[in-house]
Structure formats: structure tokens, C-alpha cells
Structure 1
Amino acid sequence: MVGNQHKIALVTGSSRGLGRNSALALARKGVDVIVTYKSEKEKADEVVKEIEQLGGKAAALQLDAGNVSSFDGFVAQLKQVLNDKWDTNQIHYLVNNAGIGINVPITETTEEQFDSLMNLHVKGVYFLTQKLYPIIADKGAVVNLSTGLTRFALPGYAAYASMKGAVEVLTKYMAKEFGARGIRVNAIAPGAIVTDFGGGGLRENEEMRNFIGSQTALGRVGEADDIGGVVASLCTDELGWVNAQRIEASGGMFL
């Protein structure tokens, strides 16, 4: 049972980057947020404070989204926080955002690199959603993060993009199976975004930013602020009839 009128979103990997931006965009829509972080607790706590300054409620929980064996313990912690802070046992929205980027040619990719991407982007998303499904409210929503790289190919991203291709297929199956409870599932595919993702390479490389801007219909590279609002809208009723879709948010990159 939900003890108040506020909807609650869980955004994985939301201490920084697109996750942080998505958490704040949800808060601006009146949605309370549970922030997760892998190691940067201080940054997660800062996001919680920002949400509270916007008038919302928030909490931060540690989560290694690539370690499936930790998920039962995480869900137990989550249930405790939901009970203590919100007097509820449900969340309404799940944003599977946590991720890492590895840029390496196919010929040089190690099994360790491949497995780290698989564990986080595919296996982690699959089983975390499975574990959380019982506490997602009916008529809730799941948003999975994909990438523009599933549509266009850039050298070095074969493993990463392959994982996100799997996420896009998984999104359709989740939508099919979760639809009986009115839970919508969509994937958002950002284009190139200036954040510290993948070591902040794009942020530091002006030549690359200029090139991508020249290949984007809107004439610039993306910023985190371009993505959070799309994620938040996919959660709320504004896009309530959008389901099982891959929505690219790239400004028209490589058309």
C-alpha cells in the first residue's frame, strides 16, 4: 500500500551524469527519488540534498548494479527505507541507468572487459528488474538506458553497443510480460553526451565535440540536461501510451 500521494522513482547510478540529471528532472515533476551509487556516497548525498531543496523526499543507497549476488540484500535495504521514510512498500518507477563505457576494438577486447559490460548492462538490468518487479506499483514504468550506438557504429564500441542491443530486445519482452499489470517499459538511447562517462573523454576532446556537432542536425553535442527530462517524461503519465519503444535522444546524430 502507498501511504502518501507522492510517486517514488529508483534511479540506478544517479550520483552523477545522466542518472543525476534524471533524478533531478523527476524531482522537478514532484516525484520522490531513491538515488543509488556504487562508491561515491558524498556525491549521492549531494543529489539527495538537491532533491530536498526542490521540495521532494529522497534517500541514497549503495548498489553495485553489476553484482547480482548483492541484489537480495539491496532489495531488503530498499524495503526498509521505503517503510521508514515513506510508509510504503512500493516504488512506481525504475530507471536502469547505471553503466560504464569501454572503448576498445574487437581485436583487443579482453574477456574481463566483455564480462564487466555484460554483468552491468545486461545481466544486472535483467535480474535487478526481476528482483524489483514485485514492488513496482501497478501502472508504473521502467526506463532502460540504451545508446545511439545501437543504430550507428563507431569503432571501439562493439562490446558496449552489443550489450545495449540486448537491452533494447529485453525492453520489448519486459513490456510484453509486465503489461498485464499496466507497467510500461521503454528504452531511451542517448547520442553523444558531455559527461564524465567513460572517463570524460568527450568532455575533454574539443575536436571530437566539434565533429559530432557537425554531424548532428541540431548542430551541437548533447548535454546531460538534454536527457533527464526525456527519462522523467517516460516515467510519468505525459507519455502514458508510449510502450515497448526505443526512443533516441541524440539531436539528430548521423542522419
Structure 2
Amino acid sequence: MTDHSIKGKTVLIAGGAKNLGGLVARDFAAQGAKAIVIHYNTAATKAEADATVAAVKAAGAEAVALQANLIAAGAVEKLFADTVAAVGRPDIAINTVGKVLKKPMVEISEAEYDEMTAVNSKVAFFFLKEAGKHLNDNGKIVTVVTSLLGAYTPFYAAYAGTKAPVEHFTRAASKEFGDRGISVTAIGPGPMDTGFFYPAEGADAVAYHKTAAALSKYSKTGLTDIEDIVPWIRMLASEGWWMTGQTILVNGGYTTK
């Protein structure tokens, strides 16, 4: 019988230095992962990546930090190759990389659109591609998207719109990799209480988002707490393997599909 636990597994987390990715790394180490590769984007995040590596090692797992700007397909290919060289072929690959832009469509420049497409769509596509090439059989792939995929709202066309293709990437990859026992899912949190959220929102919008979910008053912040998303990623990357090809929104009743 195939072991679908996290114990003894090798894990790659893109965007694993801080926020949700950093907490997932710590949680998986506590679950008995053998080795965790922490990807981070720029030197500005190196200190946080190093702190996450130290926490993972303190929990008893191997850990290494790898820096890369993943908007070039070759950089994603190198990340997986470097992961294999450092700790072996991964069993679990998690992509938390994303970029938010809140702006009316009529004000979005071509350069902004291209950057959003590169970070939110292109990185996700090539991460799935390389995961399909490098993961061990019976592996798990999880991509973080956004609950705005279930929203009817203005101003997020370049954000939710460039995350939306990941739904089909996920379906296609799950069909193509299924013969090897690899499950592929995407998870869309609601607006999370992290530094990723606040710079894009004004005070009025923050106040709205903190009351918009059905369960808002039971959250520490009114927003989606990353501690409430980690168990879902853990489940999808382990015993929840039978779910594949799906995009699920986990947001306390913020949006639904």
C-alpha cells in the first residue's frame, strides 16, 4: 500500500521563505518530512529564508535555501535540478508564488500585465511542467491561487485573471501525471493576513475584507489566517491525495463557486 504521509518525504516549496510558504515548511518539518527545499525570490528575502531553514533543521529535517527569479522557464528547470542535486527527487512540490495588483483595467499598462502574467501564470505552468518531470511516482503537487476566482468584483482583473489559467493547468496536469500516481491540486485562500495583502489595499478595502467572510468574526484578524490554510495544504499533499484536478477555495465563506 502506498504511503501518503509526509513523514520521510522530500519537499520543494516555491516561495517558501515567509508567510504561508514559510509556515508550510515548518509544519511539514514537524510532520516528519525528510528534507525541505526553501525557494526564495531575491536577496531581500534571504534572511527570512535562512530563518526558515534553521527552523526546519531544528525540527529534524534536512533543509536548503535556493534563490531564483522563476519568471524564466530555465530558472524553474534549474530550481528542480538543483533540488534533485541537493536532496534528491522531490515527493511533494508546492508553489506559493504570486503577485497581486489592484487597479482598474483602463489604468493597467502592458508592462504591468506582462509581469502579472509572468508571475501568476507562466511560473505556475512551468512549475507544473518541471514537477511532472522530476517528482517521484505517487507525488503531490499543490499550487496556491486565490479565492477571487470565485468573485464578481472590479479591479482585480490582472490578478485573478492571471491566476485563472492555473485551474486548467491543474486539470491537464492531473490527467497527464495520473498514470504515475501523482495528484495535482490548487488551493485558493481568501485575503490573508500577510504583507502580501496590505500594500494593494486601502484602509476602506481592508475594513471591508475583514468583515466579508461568513466566518470573519471567528478569525483572529477577520481575514484568512495562514494557520487555517496550512492544514488544507498538508491534507492535499498527503492523505487527501485522492482529490486531483481540483481547485478549491478555502476562505471562511468569502467567495464560492
Give per-residue Cα distances to partners, 1:70-122, cap 9 Å, x unaligned.
2343333222212xxxxxx3100111111111111111111111111111221
Corresponding residue number in structure 1 for 2:10: 8
Corresponding residue number in structure 2 for 1:241: 242
Corresponding residue number in structure 1 for 2:30: 28
Q: Does 1:133 align with 2:132?
A: yes
Q: What TM-score does the superposition give when structure 1 sets the normalisation length?
A: 0.88
1:196 Cα deviation (Å)? 0.7
- Higher mean C-alpha deviation, range 20-29 or range 134-143: 20-29
1:210 Cα deviation (Å)? 3.8
**Alpha-carbon distance in structure 2 between the residues aligned to 1:254 and 1:13:** 25
**SS at 1:61 equivalent:** strand
Q: Count residues with an aligned counterpart.
A: 242
Corresponding residue number in structure 2 for 1:253: 254
**Alpha-carbon distance in structure 2 between the residues aligned to 1:151 and 1:254:** 5
Corresponding residue number in structure 1 for 2:56: 51
Give per-residue Cα distances to partners, 1:8-61, cap 9 Å, x unaligned.
111101111111122222222212311000111111010011111222221110
Residues 168, 187 of structure 1: 8 Å contact kept:
yes
Give the alignment partner of residue 211 of structure 2, picking from 192, 211, 214.
Answer: 214
**SS at 1:195 equivalent:** coil
Q: 1:201 to 1:121 in 2, by over 3 A?
A: closer
Could you tell me which runs of 5 or more consecutive residues in structure 2 were left unpaired when the two chains were aligned: 1-6, 217-221
Give per-residue Cα distances to partners, 1:182-230, cap 9 Å, x unaligned.
000011000111101155455x84x544422322111221112121221
RMSD: 1.8
**SS at 2:185 equivalent:** strand
Q: 1:240 to 1:150 in 2, by over 3 A?
A: same
Residues 193, 225 of structure 2: 8 Å contact kept:
yes
Could you tell me which runs of 5 or more consecutive residues in structure 1 were left unpaired when the two chains were aligned: 83-88
- Matched to 1:33, the amino acid is I
Q: 1:242 to 1:254 in 2, by over 3 A?
A: closer
**Alpha-carbon distance in structure 1 between the residues aligned to 2:205 and 2:193:** 11
**Alpha-carbon distance in structure 1 between the residues aligned to 2:199 and 2:57:** 28
Give per-residue Cα distances to partners, 1:210-252, cap 9 Å, x unaligned.
4223221112211121212211221012x12111111111011
1:108-123 matched pairs, under 5 angstroms = 108-123=107-122
**SS at 1:194 equivalent:** coil
**Alpha-carbon distance in structure 2 between the residues aligned to 1:253 and 1:130:** 31
Q: What TM-score does the superposition give when structure 2 sets the normalisation length?
A: 0.87
**SS at 1:175 equivalent:** helix
- Matched to 2:36, the amino acid is V
**SS at 1:139 equivalent:** coil
**Alpha-carbon distance in structure 2 between the residues aligned to 1:152 and 1:199:** 19
Residues 23, 228 of structure 1: 8 Å contact kept:
no
Residues 83, 89 of structure 2: 8 Å contact kept:
no
**Alpha-carbon distance in structure 2 between the residues aligned to 1:8 and 1:74:** 14
Q: 1:102 to 1:69 in 2, by over 3 A?
A: same
**Alpha-carbon distance in structure 2 between the residues aligned to 1:160 and 1:191:** 13
- Higher mean C-alpha deviation, range 184-193 or range 21-30: 21-30
